[in-house]
Amino acid sequence: EVQLVESGGGLVQPGGSLRLSCAASGFTVSSNYMSWVRQAPGKGLEWVSVIYSGGSTYYADSVKGRFTISRDNSKNTLYLQMNSLRAEDTAVYYCARDGDSMPAFDIWGQGTMVTVSS
Amino acid sequence: DIQMTQSPSSLSASVGDRVTITCRASQSISSYLNWYQQKPGKAPKLLIYAASSLQSGVPSRFSGSGSGTDFTLTISSLQPEDFATYYCQQSYSTLPFTFGPGTKVDIK
């Protein structure tokens, strides 16, 4: 079965760090474009970052310089390292796969909650 | 950045109604427009990609149309399981991949 399972969310103080993981099964992370998308409580969806199959990475301006997307091919896992966290980073974070033959997010994880608060 | 708008922001409808949601891009995105459905506490689910292609497993009562800057999602006969929030998203070449603000469909 093709699926994504996120982990690593939790409560962190402003200025702190957290690393999210997204374990994939049924397909190869390194062969696909993989993104992180977040959703603040009661708000809409915001794209955060993407890593292309070739390894190039891109970020939303709101997280550039603070977040780093990466992958471990041996573990078939996607990561999001989040540093210098702010209250406005509080959200459910989803990992999502860009479809094999379509520029759309066809597979999503269940989401992991990140709360930034003192 | 390409800005996405949706209308209406919410609507009330009855089972069996025909529902139409509109999405507009701030510049032409050809047919690089996707639609997602999200239910409370759940991850979004892809319904339509490339403006009008139905994702595998999605009921045929969902359809999409449009190109350039104006797009439409239509539910031909609303079912109880369709009450949710719907988002459009552009996947044109220019990052970021922006989403619309969402349209909440609830029960009249």
Looking at residue B33, its pLDDT comes to 97
How is the beta sheet containing B70-75 ordered, strand by strand? B4-7, B19-25, B70-75, B62-67
Chain A residues touching residue B99 (CB < 8 angstroms): 44-47
Closest partner residue to A44 among B43, B97, B99, by Cβ? B99
Distance CA A31, CA A76 (A): 10
Please compute the mean of the pLDDT values over residues A26-34 and round it to a whole number. 96
pLDDT band at B107 (very low <50, low <70, confident <90, very high): confident
Closest partner residue to B34 among A46, A104, A111, by Cβ? A104
Q: What is the 3-state secondary structure (H, E, C) of chain B?
A: CCCEEEECCEEEECCCCCEEEEEEECCCCCCCEEEEEECCCCCCEEEEECCCEECCCCCCCEEEEEECCEEEEEECCCCHHHCCEEEEEECCCCCCCCECCCEEEEEC
User: Do the Cβ atoms of B89 and A46 come within 8 Å?
Assistant: no
**Would an 8 Å CB–CB cutoff place A8 in contact with chain B?**
no
**Would an 8 Å CB–CB cutoff place B87 in contact with chain A?**
yes
A99, pLDDT greater than 90: no
Please compute the mean of the pLDDT values over residues A69-86 and round it to a whole number. 98
Looking at residue A95, its pLDDT comes to 98
Interface contacts A/B by beta carbons within 8 Å: 58
Looking at residue A100, its pLDDT comes to 74
Q: List pLDDT tens digits, range B9-61.
A: 999 999 999 999 999 999 999 999 999 999 999 999 999 999 999 999 999 99
Minimum distance, in Å, between the CA of residue B91 and any CA atom of chain A: 6
